[in-house]
Amino acid sequence: MVLRPVFACPMLMTAAQPEAMSSPAPAVDTRSPFARLTELLDGIEPALPAINLSVGEPQHPVPAFVGPALAAHIDEFGRYPANRGIEPFRRAAAQWLGRRYRLARPVDAACEVLVLNGTREGLFLAALAARRWVGPRPGRPAVLIPNPFYAAYVAGAYAADCEPVYLPATRQSGFLPDLGAIDERLLARTVACYIASPSNPQGAVASRAYLERLALLARQHGFLVFADECYSEIYGGAPPPGMLEVAGADFANVVVFHSLSKRSNLPGLRLGFAAGDRRFLESFLELRNVAAPQVPTPAQHVGIAAYADEAHVADNRKLYAAKFDLADKIIGTRYGYRRPAGGFFLWLDVSQHGGDESAAVRLWKEAGVRVVPGRYLARDQADGSNPGAGYIRVAMVQDEGTTAEALHRLVRVLG
């Protein structure tokens, strides 16, 4: 494999605009949303004790099986693990996919599953592997990204020397990209398309028909779908459908990414997996063998226990449901609030309350509540609009009592 060196920091580069734009793209702040938030609130002392609802870091209890699983395999920290992942973990992940989703056939643990250090590094490195795997494109290779988005998608596009093309996900489009609005010329030069369902931050769940259409576009135009399904186990109604369900018996052109961070309240374990198109995963493994950190074997044994147990996942959903019940009562219909279909964020429209940055400053200064301005999670579109502008993201990760206090403060301040 020949890896193209990247000397410029991708996160400091200017975000590219679609080819249709003939004028130079304006400079874009590509720092982390949390770095921008820290700068926005720097020097402001909150009037009340701080409640952090900005970071999507689960605060629910760590499952009881974690400690014993680590202790039973503690000696395995003394060996380098294989980058593919141990066979029992890959088998556990494949079997869980078979129980959770309606698949055309069982996932082959031998060649259709790879262990990951969480999903962030997998989602990032997948773009580099996709650029090589997909091959030449007519024009500058492009990576399609829902807007707002998870920052790893854009970092991967830059590192792969692809143009990130932002697809607006607004209330008008059901908070998912409008697939019918994507130009054929853009599809022809697409290397990969990232999609998250449930989406972050809006909590929208893609229908089976939507996923089928996306899979068909990928096969027709020869690009890959990278489905970020990290929030798939946090939902209020029916379980969200998955991308592998619509990928056919060969899972062609589709790779799903799963993590234990949200499902099992284990963000610090850094454990997840990718599964799907075996041809791509073979190429992805080549890159990972030289560029990716291995996952410690004891952590993989925790994953085996986690994917064998659904009781703690159901309990986790109940805890989030209780907090959304609070939001239903405390927020009501304010700020365009609707209970999301999945995920654990509130996506609140504060455009009539001073806008997202102003609301974030007021909530911190007057209420000690830390939230993220929506514009920090998105990029300006070619027409100058920003799909995140006017919204704030509220992470419902604290305990029930703390969440209730934060929501009451929010309503008192914003009105």
Instruction: Break the chain into its structural domains and give their ranges.
Output: 28-61+312-414, 66-308
By the 8 A CB rule, do 371 and 353 touch?
Answer: no
Res 301 pLDDT > 70: yes
CATH classification (class only), 28-61+312-414: alpha beta
Q: What is the pLDDT of residues 147-165, one digit of tens each?
A: 999 999 999 999 999 999 9
Burial of 89 (0-12, 13-18, 19+ CB in 10 A): buried
- Tell me, what's the pLDDT at 76? 97
Select from 75, 69, 112 the least CA-distant residue to 91: 112
- Work out whether strand 391-395 and strand 345-349 pair parallel, antiparallel, or are unpaired: antiparallel
Q: What is the pLDDT of residues 29-62, one digit of tens each?
A: 778 999 999 999 999 999 999 999 999 999 999 9
Distance CA 270, CA 117 (A): 5
Residue 349: helix, strand or coil by DSSP? strand
Q: What is the pLDDT of residues 201-244, one digit of tens each?
A: 999 999 999 999 999 999 999 999 999 999 999 999 999 999 99
Q: Which pLDDT band, with edges at 50, 70 and 90, does 63 fall under?
A: very high
Q: What residues have CB less than 8 Å from 308, skipping those under 6 apart?
A: 92, 96
Res 22 pLDDT > 90: no
- Tell me, what's the pLDDT at 78? 97
HSE at residue 18, side-chain half, CA atoms within 13 A, is: 21
Q: Which pLDDT band, with edges at 50, 70 and 90, does 24 fall under?
A: very low
% the chain with pLDDT above 90: 93
**Residue for token digits 């099992």?**
264
- Tell me, what's the pLDDT at 11? 32
Select from 84, 174, 131, 181 the least CA-distant residue to 382: 181
Q: What mean pLDDT is reported for the chain?
A: 93
Distance CA 37, CA 115 (A): 32
- Tell me, what's the pLDDT at 27? 64
Global pTM value:
0.93
CATH classification (class only), 66-308: alpha beta
